[in-house]
Amino acid sequence: MTAAPAAESRPLPRYLTNRALAVLIAAVTATSFLPVLGDGFVSWDDPKNFVDNPHYRGLGPAQLRWMFTTLHMGHYIPLTWVTLGLDYLLWGMNPAGYHLTNLLLHTATALSLYLLALRLLRLALPAGTAEADLRVGAAAAALLWAVHPLRVESVAWLTERRDVLSGLFYVTAALAYLTAAGPDAGDRVRRRRWYWASLALFAASLLSKSITVTLPVTLLALDVYPLRRLGGPSGWRRWDVWLEKAPFFAIAGLVSVVAFVALLPLGNAHSLRELGVLQRTVLSVYGLAFYLFKTVVPLDLSPLYLLIIEVTWLHFATVIGGTVLATVVWRRWPALSSETVASMSLPSAAFHRITASSAGACAACPASSAAASSSPSAGAASCGVSAGGLASPWFAASPWAASGASSACPSLACSAAARSSTVVI
C-alpha cells in the first residue's frame, strides 16, 4: 500500500511529459491530414460560399456587417466567416491556405482534447492512479478522435470550416467548465473567471455553428460524473449547480431559434404534418444507432446518406437497451451513464442532413469509400467533393466518440439530385 506513492515520486520519462505528448499528437494529426493541402475548392457548396461569394473577402466594415447579419445558405456562422475573411487577406483565393487553417484548427482541437481527457481521467480514476497511465490514456483518446475517418469531411472540405472551429470552441468550453467546477479550481474569484470563460467559449462555438447547442446537457452529465456535484451523496437539489446552467441554456435557446429561422428560406425543414413525431422518433433511434456503428466500424462512409433505411429491432435494442443499462448501473458504473447522456445529446440525429432520394440518384458516384477514407485528396480528385465527418466531439470519462458522416464522395449530379429532397430532422 505504501509502494504507490514512492513510484509516483519518480520523475516521468521524457517521452511522457505533456510537451512530448503534445508534439506527438500534433505531428500524427497533421501528418494524417497533410494531403488536404493539395486539394482545391470543390463543387459542393464551395462555389456558393467562396468562389462566387465576394461578401466575405476581407475584414472591413462592409464585410463584417455582412458576416454578422447574413443567413447565407441556411446558417448563421459569423465567427466562421471572420476566419474565412482572414484567410482571404492572407491567401487570397488560394485554397491551400484555407486548407491549412482547417488543419491547424483541427490539430488545436486534438491538443485541447488531450487536456480535457487528462482532466476527466484525473477526476474519474482513483487518486493513486499512476500519472503515466493517465497521460497515455488521454493521449490515446485524443489521437483516436483526431485521426478517425469520421473527421475527414470536416478537415478536408472548406465549407465545413464551421465544424472545426465550433469543435475547438466546444472542447475548450468544456475544459474551462471542468476547471471552474473541479475540486482544484482555487478560490471563488478564480472559479468565476473560468466559469465566464466557459460561457464565452460556448457562445463562440454557437456563433461558429449552432450544432453545438447541446453542450449544457453534456455539462450536466459531467456534474453527475465525474464531478459528482449532482446525484449520489450530493443529491439533486444543488440549486446553485442547476442555476449556473441557466445562461448556457438561454444562449443555446436563442441560437436555436436563429438556426431554424435561417433554415426556413431553404424549404427543407419539414413540418410535423409532413414528418410526424413517430417518424422523427424512429429516425432519431436509427441515427443514434447508425453513428455508433460507424464510429466502431467506419466503413461505407459518405458525406450525405440517402434516406433508404430499414429500421430493425437491432437499432431499437441498441438505443433502448443502452439507455436502460445506463439507468440501472449508474451507481456502479457512473462513467457509462454519463457517457450515454452525453452521446445522446450529440448533434447527430437532430441536425444532420438525410436525403430521401431514390437509390438510383447516386449511381453516377465513382468514388469508393475506402479510397476516400485513406486519402482525403484522393476522394476530392475522383468526385470533386471532399470526404466526410463532422467534428463534434463529446466528453465523458470513458470511450470517446463523435457524430458525423464521412468518406465516400458523391458526384455533383448525385448531390444535386439528393438535395432536392433533403430532410432536416
Q: Could you list the pLDDT tens digit for every one of the 425 residues in the chain? A: 444 444 445 678 888 899 999 999 999 999 999 999 999 999 889 999 999 999 999 999 999 999 999 999 999 999 999 999 999 999 999 999 999 999 999 999 999 999 999 999 999 998 889 999 999 999 999 999 999 999 999 999 999 999 999 999 999 999 999 999 988 887 889 999 999 999 999 999 999 999 999 999 999 999 998 999 998 788 888 999 999 999 999 999 999 999 989 988 887 777 777 777 877 877 777 778 888 888 899 988 888 877 666 666 777 777 777 777 777 766 666 766 666 666 666 644 333 333 333 233 333 333 333 333 333 333 332 232 222 333 332 222 222 222 333 333 322 223 332 333 333 33
pLDDT single digits (tens) 277-309: 877 877 777 778 888 888 899 988 888 877 666
Specify the length of the chain in residues. Answer: 425
Separation CA 228–CA 248 (nearest Å): 20
For Cα atoms 213, 175, 162, give the angle at the middle one, nearest 5 degrees.
45
C-alpha cell at 272: 410535423
Q: Can you state the angle between helices 334-344 and 215-224, rounded to 10 degrees?
A: 170
Alpha helices in 148-214 (DSSP H): 152-156, 161-181, 188-208
Q: State which H helix or E strand residue 423 sits in.
A: strand 422-424
C-alpha cell at 363: 449511381
C-alpha cell at 395: 466528453
pLDDT single digits (tens) 99-111: 999 999 999 999 9
Amino acid identity at 61:
P
pLDDT single digits (tens) 337-355: 666 666 666 644 333 333 3
What's the whole-model pTM score?
A: 0.75
Separation CA 358–CA 203 (nearest Å): 39
Query: What letter does residue 349 receive in the DSSP assignment?
Result: T
Q: Per-residue b/e over 396-411, b at no fewer than 16 CB within 10 Å?
A: bbeebbbbbbbbbbbb
Q: How many CA atoms lie within 13 A of 166 on its CB side?
A: 29
Question: Which residues are bridge partners to 393 per DSSP?
Answer: 402
Q: How many CB atoms lie within 10 A of CB 292?
A: 18
Separation CA 217–CA 359 (nearest Å): 37
- So what's the pLDDT on residue 309? 60
- So what's the pLDDT on residue 25? 97
- Is-contact 24 14, C-beta < 8 A? no
